[in-house]
């Protein structure tokens, strides 16, 4: 609870409540205190003890907290209930309405000095900003939430840390996202703070950055830890998110049936919870699994379903990322013109600070389409743009493959030295995927 208000403020509050109830100072004082004491207290010349304030609060029929800090009775409980309702609105995909509710609740919590409720509202605002693609604003909200929780234990701060890491990841800052998640995991495990919810949130969150950096072994290990922790976690939304992240690693290992099963579990949990954005993510990842397995008809259907759902939830950045996956499927089905139209329609949603890995994937695919059409100049331009984005993001595996493609293009056009430079760059990233950007693995949980 915040420190008590200044004695003069408390005194004026007592006087106001007493006069509203038509009580005299003697009536308020009896039987434990004197009218003179009440007079002195109301004048702000004495700092009342907790015992005295509890007596006065009882006589006035109000809560002790209302006298001490001016907070209406049961305000914190009411705020928490409304915060839970805002969370449900966000889960249903209405980012605009959720943001409006969280903004109002944040102002109310700040007015009454309710730090925990402030942090919850800021976390909600951060999640709404993530869904709408406002990554800078999301990061600011998560940073402020972490400040409000500075006095709490590390597990309590993990949702804010994870939010910051996701905002950096979506902006293409893979290495920093991994640093945030790994250092927090290390601190939790070395400190014996084995909170299942916190650990699962971090392990599920680090799988995506690991995969994009080419650190497949670490991604697989994080997935195994997440699966082992799942039975100890009560939050079905958290388990659903974990299954979606784990599916990506299972896919990289060629375990297609298990990946599809993980996505089915996540989809079922999300249907139960009506988490529309998370459910759209499941359709997106399932489409990706089908595409890798050569089931292009099903992949297209799943990805189109994801796009439609993201459009309804106004999750702009996620919608654009799913569109890149769909364009790849269309290209593989021989509909390159449709793929190019889709990619050119979403490229404006990306930048080097916002969705860099998928922006690079879009340029890479546009380069392939241009090369198929014998437009080598356009193809080279797209490959170079993709290379620049991947280098900034540190996505080692994709970068190595792109260098090979660019080298092949340069060699075919007679620029042998430039081709060799591209190959050398790719070999540097292929030598040991992930190891050039990652330090020692974090400490492991006692599973």
**73 Cβ neighbours under 8 A, 6+ residues apart:** 62, 63, 65, 66
Q: What are phi and psi of 435, to 5 degrees?
A: -75, -20
pLDDT at 217: 79
Segments of the chain with pLDDT less than 50: 1-2, 431-437
Candidates 218, 222, 272, 263; CA nearest to 243 is: 263
Q: Return the sign of the alpha-carbon dihedral for residues 211, 213, 215, 218.
A: negative
pLDDT at 439: 60
Helix (H, G, I), strand (E, B) or coil at 22: coil
pLDDT at 278: 62
CA distance 419 to 416: 5
pLDDT at 243: 77
Residue with tokens 């969705």: 355
pLDDT at 435: 38
* pTM reported for the whole predicted model: 0.67
């Amino acid at each position: 609870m915040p420190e008590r208000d200044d004695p003069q403020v408390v005194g004026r509050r007592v006087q106001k409540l007493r006069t509203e109830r038509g009580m005299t100072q003697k009536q308020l004082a009896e039987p434990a205190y004197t009218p003179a004491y009440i007079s002195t207290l109301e004048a702000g010349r004495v700092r009342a003890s907790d015992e005295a304030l509890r007596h006065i609060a009882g006589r006035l029929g109000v809560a002790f907290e209302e006298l001490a800090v001016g907070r209406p009775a049961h305000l914190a409980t009411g705020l928490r209930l409304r915060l839970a309702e805002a969370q449900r609105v966000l889960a249903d995909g209405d980012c605009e309405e959720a943001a409006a509710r969280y903004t109002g609740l944040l102002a109310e919590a700040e007015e009454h000095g309710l730090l925990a409720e402030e942090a919850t509202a800021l976390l909600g605002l951060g999640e709404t900003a993530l869904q709408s693609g406002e990554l800078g604003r999301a990061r600011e909200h998560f940073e402020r939430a972490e400040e409000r929780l500075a006095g709490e234990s590390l597990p309590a701060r993990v949702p804010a840390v994870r939010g910051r890491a996701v905002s950096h990841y979506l902006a293409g800052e893979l290495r920093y996202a991994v640093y945030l998640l790994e250092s927090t995991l290390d601190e939790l495990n070395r400190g014996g703070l084995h909170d299942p919810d916190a650990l699962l949130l971090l392990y599920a969150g680090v799988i995506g950055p690991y995969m994009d950096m080419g650190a497949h072994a670490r991604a697989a290990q994080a997935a195994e830890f997440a699966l082992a922790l799942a039975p100890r976690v009560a939050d079905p939304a958290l388990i659903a998110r974990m299954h979606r992240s784990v599916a990506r690693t299972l896919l990289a290992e060629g375990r297609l049936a298990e990946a599809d099963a993980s996505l089915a579990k996540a989809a079922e949990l999300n249907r139960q919870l009506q988490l529309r954005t998370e459910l759209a993510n499941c359709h997106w990842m399932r489409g990706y699994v089908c595409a890798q397995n050569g089931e292009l008809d099903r992949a297209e259907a799943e990805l189109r379903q994801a796009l439609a759902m993201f459009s309804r939830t106004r999750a702009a950045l996620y919608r654009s990322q799913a569109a890149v996956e769909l364009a790849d499927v269309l290209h593989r089905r021989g509909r390159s013109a449709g793929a190019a139209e889709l990619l050119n329609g979403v490229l404006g949603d990306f930048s080097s600070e916002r969705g860099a890995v998928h922006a690079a994937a879009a340029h890479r695919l546009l380069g392939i389409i241009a090369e198929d059409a014998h437009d080598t100049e356009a193809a080279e331009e797209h490959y170079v743009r993709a290379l620049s984005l991947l280098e900034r993001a540190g996505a080692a595996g994709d970068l190595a493959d792109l260098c090979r493609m660019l080298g092949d293009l340069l060699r075919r056009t007679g620029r042998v030295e430039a081709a060799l430079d591209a190959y050398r760059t790719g070999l540097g990233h292929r030598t040991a995927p992930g190891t050039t950007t990652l330090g020692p693995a974090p400490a492991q949980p006692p599973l």
